[in-house]
Amino acid sequence: MTDHQLPVLWTFRRCPYAMRTRLAIKHSGLSVYLREIVLKDKPAEFIQDSEKATVPVLKLPSGKVLEESLEIMRWALKQNDPHDWLQVLDAEPEYSEAFLAELDGPFKDALDRYKYASRYDLNEDEVLRHRARGSASLKCINERLDEHPFLSGHSQGFLDIASLPFVRQFRIANPTWFDSQDWTSLHAWLKQFLESKQFAIVMQKLTPWHLQQGKGILF
């Protein structure tokens, strides 16, 4: 594939959905053009590619557009998956499906309300209720990590990559409180990720895309 024919990934550095797709794409060894956007000032070209206008969006050279982060992760890993990240989805399909539904559903809802309480105009009791709801998911994650070092088993896999960016966000809301929780296995798992090279690579800062940038930044 020449550079010209590479897919384009519309992305936003701090978005956990976009982060997990960059992690999967980097792991797969595929190349794409990254186009960083500013959510408050979305380029017309982005909205032309996807009316839904949420990041991440992957546009393939064929013109096909993928608008869901889990779909983009699967797309990348189906082409090349050197450490079998997809394996857990086949080995434990019911658990994986329930885990991802909980993560992108009730956990993400609780995370948003806890982290961005002012946007939702919540009082302190309500915020604590959302923190408790999110913590219930984190406790389950911790219990699974007590069994083996990664959610996907003995090595990192799809479930780890899909969830770590969101757990990181939950911590950022109040690191002191988060670190004081009795989630030993979860703390070790998150720390290892935050200190990893893979995380540093996908968190590199990019100038927001503009027409003069052409296709985007090769990644």
Ligand X SMILES: N[C@@H](CCC(=O)N[C@@H](CS)C(=O)NCC(=O)O)C(=O)O
Exposure string (b/e) for 47-66, b if CB count within 10 Å is 16 or more? eebbeeebbbbbbeeeeebb
- Written as six digits, the tokens of 150 are 């990664």
Q: Which is nearer to ligand X, 37 or 138 (CB)?
A: 37
- Written as six digits, the tokens of 31 are 């190349």
Three-point CA angle 53, 58, 208, nearest 5°: 65
**Residue numbers 36-55 binding ligand X by CB under 6 A:** 39, 54-55
Q: Least distance (Å) from ligand X to the CB of residue 180? A: 27
Contact between 56 and ligand X by CB under 6 A: the answer reads yes
Q: Least distance (Å) from ligand X to the CB of residue 60? A: 16
- Written as six digits, the tokens of 86 are 């997809």
Cα separation, 150 vs 27, in Å, equals: 17
Q: Least distance (Å) from ligand X to the CB of residue 176? A: 24
Could you tell me how many residues of this chain bind ligand X (CB under 6 A)?
9
Contact between 111 and ligand X by CB under 6 A: the answer reads no
- Written as six digits, the tokens of 129 are 């209720």
Contact between 128 and ligand X by CB under 6 A: the answer reads no
SS3 36: strand
Contact between 24 and ligand X by CB under 6 A: the answer reads no
Q: Which residue has the tokens 């799809």?
A: 158
Q: Least distance (Å) from ligand X to the CB of residue 132? A: 23
Q: Least distance (Å) from ligand X to the CB of residue 31? A: 21
- Written as six digits, the tokens of 17 are 């959905």
Contact between 17 and ligand X by CB under 6 A: the answer reads yes
Of all helices (H) and strands (E), which one includes residue 10? strand 8-11
Find the binder of ligand X among 45, 68, 92, 102 (CB under 6 A).
Answer: 68
Interface positions with ligand X (CB under 6 A): 12, 15, 17, 39, 54-56, 68-69
